[in-house]
Structure 1
Amino acid sequence: MQLITAPSKTQEFNGRLSDVFTIPHCIRTSEQINNSLRAMDKEGLSQLMKTSPKLTESTYRRIHDFVTPFTLKNARQALFTFQGDAYAAIEAESYSEIQLQYAQNHLCILSGLYGLLRPLDLMQPYRLEMAAKLEVNGCKNLYELWQKEVTALLNSRCTMDDEQAVVNLASAEYSRVIDKKQLKAKMIEVVFQQEHKGKLKTIPIHSKKARGLMIHFAISNRIEKTADLKNFDLDGYSVNKAESNDLKWIFRKR
């Protein structure tokens, strides 16, 4: 069973939490993307990323500071780097070595710059959404560039699992990069709902936290089977069996 999730714009690079690391599978493609970004001026970057002058300046600096090879001196493990609502709920700093190894084998972070990151893959700071209309290597956008490579990596990871399933805990912007026709495992969509003004709704900020909590639940308990993941009950959530099926789980907050 593989869990997929999205990255976050907020990133933290201070402090070393582990000496164990891996290098991203797709680092060569990442270098090609960064080279394409380096060829742009600040105005072009601002238009591509729809950023303010301050954010554009920061992004421009990151692009030009990007350097390989990645080491613990110039990069940090992905799971410790990403911040925000979902990652606060994941609580990466709380895990034992055994739990981190489980995460390394079962969690995939989809990324506009890195394609697919494992939790212990080193990364450098960046800002690049998957939906950015950046042309690289003859591909008209990042979806076209990454789809084959990311799907192949996900298929490869699934072959090592007892149960070949992908649990989608990413936003639509990121999960869209996966070619479902070529995916050799079933993909399960997870929906989190809350009652708001008398109606059941999916509220983005609550869904982000819930996705992080489900990832935390999986890592903490080292869950291998989707049937066990369905027992997720943190923060008052429970699965609605009547409206769920094998490929779509509906969780509601009590």
Structure 2
Amino acid sequence: MLKIIISPAKKMNVRNDILSYKNIPFFINEAQILFSYMKNMSLEELKNLWKCSDKLVQENEQQLRTGNLKQNLSPAILSYEGIQYKYMAPAVFEEQAFIWLEKHLRILSGFYGVLCPFDGVIPYRLEMQARFHTEKINNLYDFWGQKLADYILKDCDCLINLASKEYSKSVLKYIPKNVQVITCVFGEIIDGKIKEKGTYAKMARGSLVRYMAEHQIENPEEMKQFDELGYKYKEEYSDNTKWIFCK
């Protein structure tokens, strides 16, 4: 089975006005451990953990103090509000596209580990590269270890990597030999080299997920027909593990 991994977004909101969540995240116990650790941290410790402005620290601390991992939940796919998710535009999907997403798409998360699209979440702030600097938890890559890959790759023979390096490396280091990995790169050819620009790449990743869901893609070869936002697949720059789409 084909599976796709994508990154989360920093900006989140509660969105249970369109569709309800279906399941509690698989790694809810691990998330509860991280949640409890953060709740016991001082404002200064949270600032060092989150590495964001004082305003954002105060906003996220308030969410942390009043939040509950089992209340006021909304589907993960609708809760993230970054560029990638805006171009994916899941709020306007038809039912068949949602069914495809739930089967094939997995969202990596420093806090929840891995999320299926309709797992119930609350707004949180915790990037995968964050460091706790405690005896029990230092960095999240060690905290999560191989369990994220094991969960995602069950019944998977082809993994489409649309996640950033920060998130994808939590999975890619544990790939077994029987699983094909295809990393999609969206860039421009400048002086004979592929240059990827962050914002445009996020837009393209979201558009590709939408394209795959709408076309119910099961064979990765069908991805090569993607031609939105001016991008086209370039065979001459691609190989078995890296597929290049250029403007």
Between the aligned partners of 2:61 and 2:190, the Cα distance in structure 1 is 41
* Counterpart code for 2:44: E
Match of 2:214 in 1: 220
Between the aligned partners of 1:154 and 1:167, the Cα distance in structure 2 is 11
Match of 2:108 in 1: 110
* Counterpart code for 1:3: I
Match of 2:185 in 1: 191
Within the candidate set 117, 122, 126, 1:124 is matched to 122
Q: Does 1:87 align with 2:81?
A: no
Q: How far apart are 1:196 and its partner, in Å?
A: 6.2
Unaligned runs of 5+ in 1: 159-163
Q: Cα–Cα, structure 1 residues 7 and 181, in superposed 2: closer, same or farther, change >3 Å? A: closer
| CA RMSD across the alignment | 1.9
* Counterpart code for 1:7: P
Q: How far apart are 1:20 and its partner, in Å?
A: 5.0
* Counterpart code for 2:115: L
- Alignment deviations for residues 143-200 of structure 1 (CA, whole Å, 9 cap, x no partner): 1111322011112252xxxxx1111101000001115344451211111112569975
Q: Does 1:48 align with 2:49?
A: yes
Between the aligned partners of 1:80 and 1:137, the Cα distance in structure 2 is 35
- Give identity over the alignment, percent: 30
Say how many residue pairs are matched: 245
- Alignment deviations for residues 195-227 of structure 1 (CA, whole Å, 9 cap, x no partner): 569975211110010111111111111101111
Which shows bigger deviation, 110-119 or 197-206?
197-206
Q: Cα–Cα, structure 1 residues 24 and 137, in superposed 2: closer, same or farther, change >3 Å? A: farther
Within the candidate set 202, 205, 222, 2:196 is matched to 202
Alignment of 1:131-142 (within 5 A): 131-135=129-133, 138-142=136-140
Q: How far apart are 1:230 and its partner, in Å?
A: 2.0
Alignment of 1:240-251 (within 5 A): 240-251=234-245
Match of 1:33 in 2: 34
Between the aligned partners of 2:123 and 2:155, the Cα distance in structure 1 is 26
Match of 2:163 in 1: 170
Normalised TM-score (structure 2): 0.93
- Aligned to 1:178, the other structure's residue is in SS state helix
C-alpha contact 1:188 1:247 (8 A) present in aligned 2 = yes
Between the aligned partners of 1:33 and 1:213, the Cα distance in structure 2 is 32
**4+ residue segments displaced more than 6 Å:** 196-199
C-alpha contact 1:36 1:136 (8 A) present in aligned 2 = no
- Aligned to 2:225, the other structure's residue is in SS state coil
Q: How far apart are 1:26 and its partner, in Å?
A: 0.5
C-alpha contact 2:20 2:75 (8 A) present in aligned 1 = no
Unaligned runs of 5+ in 2: none
C-alpha contact 2:146 2:174 (8 A) present in aligned 1 = no
Q: How far apart are 1:136 and its partner, in Å?
A: 6.8
Q: Cα–Cα, structure 1 residues 157 and 89, in superposed 2: closer, same or farther, change >3 Å? A: farther
Normalised TM-score (structure 1): 0.90
Q: How far apart are 1:96 and its partner, in Å?
A: 1.5
Between the aligned partners of 2:172 and 2:84, the Cα distance in structure 1 is 24
* Counterpart code for 1:207: A
Match of 2:147 in 1: 149
C-alpha contact 1:147 1:179 (8 A) present in aligned 2 = no
C-alpha contact 1:132 1:142 (8 A) present in aligned 2 = yes
Q: How far apart are 1:54 and its partner, in Å?
A: 1.4
C-alpha contact 2:15 2:75 (8 A) present in aligned 1 = no
- Aligned to 1:156, the other structure's residue is in SS state coil
